[in-house]
Amino acid sequence: MRFTSAVRDAAPADNDDALMTRIAGRDAVAFGRVVDAHAAMLHRIAYRMIGDAAEAEDIAQEALLRLWASAERWRPGQAGIAAWLTRVAVNQCLDRLRRRRFASDEEQPERADEAPGADAQVEEEHLRRAARAALGDLSERHRAAIVLTYYEELPNSMAAEALELNLKAFESLLLRARGAMRASLAARGLTSLTGEIAS
């Protein structure tokens, strides 16, 4: 079981400030570079936090549209496009998760595994589902800290910015999130996975 993404998104060829200047001038090619570089990352973050592919697609598109719409207000020298988009996507996820929690106390049903496979594939899928379920047990902010750190491998500084926290507050949140994730995995009898999030 891995908590990391195998493929990292390519950075745009231009620097972020130059790209945003072009986007503010309504340059569709520059915006296309941003979409190509960041859409998959945004979808992964949203899917891991929300658990619904269509909703994750909506969140990724909304984050990108907000970048397009607010390009004229871009301040040169800020953290960068990836950090800005991540913050917007995470905030959308947190808002949707809060609305879900207030709308219904019922647990979301798990999807059945429709893919045929060997025992190893079945076991791997079982572990993936259990880890997703354990992630779902966490509070919204704990879930965001785990997703950004372990699935997306963001540096703590960038994850902190996405959650609008200073670095020390984020590290404290991440420490609590790891403890909550370990407890949730252990409650499911998955003590072998707790080492994945121990450091």
Tell me how far apart the alpha carbons of residues 8 and 40 are, in angstroms, rounded to a whole number. 9
Q: Is the same domain home to 90 and 170?
A: no
Report the pLDDT value the prediction gives residue 8, as an integer from 0 to 100.
36
Q: Is the same domain home to 128 and 180?
A: yes
Pick from 25, 117, 37, 140: which is nearest to 83 by CA?
Answer: 37
Last residue of a domain, one of 47, 71, 103: 103
Q: Which domain holds residue 94?
A: 8-103
Give residue-wise pLDDT tens across range 28-67: 999 999 999 999 999 999 999 998 999 999 999 999 999 9
Report the pLDDT value the prediction gives residue 166, as an integer from 0 to 100.
93
Q: What is the mean pLDDT of residues 66-86?
A: 90
Q: Is the same domain home to 97 and 12?
A: yes
Last residue of a domain, one of 46, 73, 103: 103
Report the pLDDT value the prediction gives residue 104, as an integer from 0 to 100.
55
- Name the more confident of 131 and 80: 80
DSSP string for 51-63: --HHHHHHHHHHH
Low-confidence winner among 129-133, 142-146, 177-181 (lowest mean pLDDT): 129-133
Q: Is the same domain home to 195 and 146?
A: yes
Report the pLDDT value the prediction gives residue 168, as an integer from 0 to 100.
95
Residue 50 placed within a domain: yes
Number of domains within the chain = 2
Confidence bin at 81 (pLDDT 50/70/90): very high
Pick from 161, 158, 151, 149: which is nearest to 199 by CA?
Answer: 149
Report the pLDDT value the prediction gives residue 133, as an integer from 0 to 100.
83
Q: Is the same domain home to 14 and 97?
A: yes
Last residue of a domain, one of 73, 103, 133: 103
Instruction: Name the residue with tokens 């697609």.
Output: 57
Residue 183 placed within a domain: yes
Phi-psi region of 26 (alpha: psi -120 to 50; beta: other; left: phi over 0): left
Based on C-alpha coordinates, what's the Rg of the chain?
Answer: 18
CATH of the domain at 13: 1.10.1740.10
Is pTM beyond 0.85? Reply is: no
Give residue-wise pLDDT tens across range 147-193: 999 888 888 988 998 899 999 999 999 999 999 988 888 887 776 55
HEC letters along 127-158: HHHHHHHHHHHCCHHHHHHHHHHHHCCCCHHH
Q: Is the same domain home to 98 and 121?
A: no
Instruction: Name the residue with tokens 């800005």.
Output: 84
Q: What percent of the chain has pLDDT over 70?
A: 76
Confidence bin at 199 (pLDDT 50/70/90): very low
CATH of the domain at 131: 1.10.10.10
